[in-house]
């Protein structure tokens, strides 16, 4: 079998793989990416957060992405029974990026991967990792292309950015179920011919509370196409009979916020289903490998945290891999696992508060405190590592306490 030698093997050419490949390559090490599919390929995850711009900048991707003309994103809107809670990233607690993009991921991911290739990193598309053997921290990975040709890649280090493929966790039995409840999404890209009927910020991502535990994403792209998806427990979806298209049209019709705008609109593809996406592993690193992006833990789409956690974890991991290749000591637990879990844990609190209804109470309260709104806005912008923000440092308690206070104040007002 043919054998190739590199310093670092990166599995997956999604955002996590591309960020890691670029940063490690820039430090002068030989990198190879293997990617199971042919790009462009469809993947969901279209709304980015400002915090990911820092990782994309360090990876050298911003110019190439800018050229694609994606929809710029300056905030996020939440809607419930006609009430609107609008966050603008300029009005936030943490000093950082105040905008980002809403992207068609097929095009976005190809742009990142093409940029990596232009930097001189080879990407083997339609090539799947089938086996890995570790000898200390060195490894031999077996890959197979679509014609069945096998090859071995010897690497000093592996970055696993294989997303839902979960290559290393599956090969070494590291998978662990998430504590989050299993949810299901039905979604499509639509020709949004009535977008102009939205009065304020028609191009801003909107999350609509449909009913308890069920919400809708509306992500407008610069092309006039809009991504729309319903997320809820499987039992919610079971209540809609028929084909996926019939189910999706009936769902759109059942929500006042979407009924008129999306009535009879053309779908760019037949509505698709994704479910049970939350998964995690015990350990995000080991002798000779690190897991980045979705392989570490993917929570839920509600706060668009996926690509941000993917790119930021890869940015952090890449710097540690470089240190390791230089022969320096790396404390993976302290410098990788802990900060990565910090981000995941903050978002997990917000995801749970969203489904429990705590965030509804806060978002749609009569008179939101502007300071508190700015602090929560920073979390929604992805600044979940800023310990000066009480809604980060005390993420579990701060939301509950605030919701209780709002409920109490509103009760007192009703009595008066
Ligand atoms: C319903 C839903 C909605 C979402 N919405 C958002 C959103 O609005 N915003 C957001 O930021 N995130 C969102 N996400 C999350 C987002 O999809 C992911 O977090 C993001 O794609 C993670 O990037 P990644 O690079 O880690 O993985 P991926 O983008 O999945 O890339 C991994 C790559 O690895 C390749 N691969 C897999 N197995 C192998 C193998 N054996 N060998 C070689 N290559 C392999 C795959 O082909 C793939 O190209 C959503 C997720 C879901 C389920």
Considering the domain architecture, whether residues 306 and 285 belong to the same structural domain is answered as yes
User: To test the ligand 1 pocket, which listed residue (102, 111, 116, 165) has its Cβ within 8 A of the most ligand atoms?
Assistant: 165
Whether residues 132 and 190 fall in one domain: no
pTM of the model: 0.97
- CA–CA separation, 196 and 246 (whole Å): 25
Residues 126 and 19 both lie in one domain: yes
Give strand pairing partners of 2: 151
Q: What is the pLDDT of residue 312?
A: 98
CA of 12 to the centre of ligand 1 (A): 9
Say which CATH number the domain at 161 has. Answer: 3.50.50.60
- Residue 226 is assigned to a structural domain of this protein: yes
Q: Specify the pLDDT at position 272.
A: 98
Cβ–ligand 1 contact at 297 (below 6 Å): no
Minimum-distance ligand 1 atom for the alpha carbon of 37: 47
Q: Is residue 88 part of a domain?
A: no
176-197 burial by CB neighbour count: b if 16+ within 10 A, else e?
A: eebebeebbbbbbbbebeebee
Backbone torsion region of residue 304, taken as left when φ is above 0, otherwise alpha when ψ lies between -120 and 50, otherwise beta: left
Nearest residue (CA) to ligand 1, atom 16: 45
Residue 300 inside a domain? The answer is yes
Tell whether 222 is covered by a domain: yes
Same domain? For 228 and 331 the reply is no
How far away, in angstroms, is 372 Cα from ligand 1 center? Answer: 32
Q: Is 46 in the pocket of ligand 1 (CB under 6 A)?
A: yes
Alpha helices (H) along 130-201: 167-171
Nearest CA to 25 out of 133, 140, 115 is that of 115
Q: For the chain, how many structural domains are there in total?
A: 3
Pair 150, 210 in one domain:
no
Kindly state whether residue 80 falls inside one of the protein's structural domains.
Answer: no
Q: Quick one: pLDDT at residue 416?
A: 65
In terms of DSSP bridges, do strands 138-145 and 150-160 run parallel, antiparallel, or are they unpaired?
antiparallel
Q: What's the CA-to-centroid distance between 307 and ligand 1, angstroms?
A: 8
For residues 301 and 171, membership in a common domain is answered with: yes
Same domain, 205 and 168: no
Rounded distance, CA 60 to CA 269, Å?
A: 32
Q: 43 and 114 share a domain?
A: yes
Are both 130 and 233 inside the same structural domain? no
Let me know if residue 89 belongs to a domain.
no
Q: Which helix (H) or strand (E) holds 62?
A: helix 62-66
Same domain, 41 and 106: yes
202 and 150 inside one domain: no
Domain end position, chosen among 344, 372, 402 = 344
Distances (CA, A) of 1 to 131, 213, 389: 14, 52, 54
Residues 65 and 192 in one domain: no
341, exposed or middle or buried, with CB in 10 Å at 0-12, 13-18, 19+?
middle
User: What is the CA(310)–ligand 1 centre distance, in A?
Assistant: 9
Domain boundary residue among 275, 302, 334? 275
Examine residue 83 and state whether it is found in any structural domain, yes or no.
Answer: no
Q: How far is the CA of 164 from the centre of ligand 1 (A)?
A: 6
Where a domain ends, among 320, 344, 368? 344
User: What string of pLDDT tens digits covers the 416 residues of the chain?
Assistant: 899 999 999 999 999 999 999 999 999 999 999 999 999 999 999 999 999 999 999 999 999 999 999 999 999 999 999 999 999 999 999 999 999 999 999 999 999 999 999 999 999 999 999 999 999 999 999 999 999 999 999 999 999 999 999 999 999 999 888 878 889 999 999 999 999 999 899 999 999 999 999 999 999 999 999 999 999 999 999 999 999 999 999 999 999 999 999 999 999 999 999 998 777 888 899 999 999 998 888 888 999 999 999 999 999 999 999 999 999 999 999 999 999 999 999 999 999 999 999 999 999 998 889 999 999 999 999 999 999 999 999 998 999 999 999 988 877 777 66
Q: Is residue 328 part of a domain?
A: yes
Host domain of residue 335: 3-71+100-177+278-344
Is the distance from CB of 177 to CB of 279 less than 8 angstroms?
A: yes
From 345, 357, 344, select the one nearest 394 (Cα to Cα).
345
């Amino acid at each position: 079998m043919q054998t190739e030698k590199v310093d670092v093997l990166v599995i997956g050419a999604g955002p996590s793989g591309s960020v890691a490949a670029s940063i490690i390559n820039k430090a002068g090490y030989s990198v190879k990416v293997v990617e199971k599919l042919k790009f462009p390929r469809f993947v969901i995850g279209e709304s980015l957060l400002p915090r990911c711009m820092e990782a994309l900048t360090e990876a050298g991707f911003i110019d190439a992405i800018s050229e694609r003309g994606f929809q710029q994103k300056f905030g996020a809107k939440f809607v419930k029974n006609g009430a609107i809670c609008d966050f603008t990233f300029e009005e936030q607690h943490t000093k950082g990026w105040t905008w980002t993009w809403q992207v068609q991921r097929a095009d976005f991911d190809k742009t990142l991967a093409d940029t990596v290739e232009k930097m001189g990193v080879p990407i083997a598309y339609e090539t799947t990792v089938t086996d890995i053997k570790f000898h200390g921290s060195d490894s031999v990975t077996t890959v197979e292309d679509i014609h069945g040709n096998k090859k071995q890649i010897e690497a000093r280090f592996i970055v696993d950015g294989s997303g839902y493929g979960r290559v290393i966790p599956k090969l070494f039995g590291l998978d662990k179920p998430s504590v989050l409840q299993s949810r299901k999404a039905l979604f499509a890209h639509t020709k949004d011919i009535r977008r102009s009927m939205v009065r304020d910020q028609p191009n801003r991502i909107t999350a609509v509370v449909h009913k308890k535990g069920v919400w809708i994403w509306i992500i407008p792209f610069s092309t006039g196409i809009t991504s729309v998806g319903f997320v809820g427990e499987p039992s919610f979806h079971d209540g809609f009979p028929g084909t996926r298209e019939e189910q999706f049209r009936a769902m759109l019709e059942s929500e006042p916020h979407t009924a008129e705008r999306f009535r009879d609109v053309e779908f760019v593809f037949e509505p698709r289903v994704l479910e049970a996406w939350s998964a995690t592993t015990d350990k995000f690193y080991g002798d000779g490998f690190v897991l980045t992006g979705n392989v570490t833990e993917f929570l839920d789409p509600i706060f668009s945290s996926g690509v941000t956690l993917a790119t930021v974890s890869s940015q952090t991991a890449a710097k540690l891999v470089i240190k390791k290749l230089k022969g320096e000591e790396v404390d993976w637990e302290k410098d990788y696992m802990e900060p990565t879990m910090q981000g995941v844990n903050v978002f997990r609190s917000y995801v749970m508060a969203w489904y429990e209804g705590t965030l509804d109470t806060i978002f749609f309260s009569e008179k939101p405190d502007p300071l508190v709104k700015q602090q929560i806005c920073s979390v929604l912008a992805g600044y979940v590592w800023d310990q000066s923000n009480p809604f980060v440092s005390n993420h579990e308690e701060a939301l509950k306490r605030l919701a209780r206070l709002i409920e109490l104040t509103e009760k007192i007002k009703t009595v008066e």
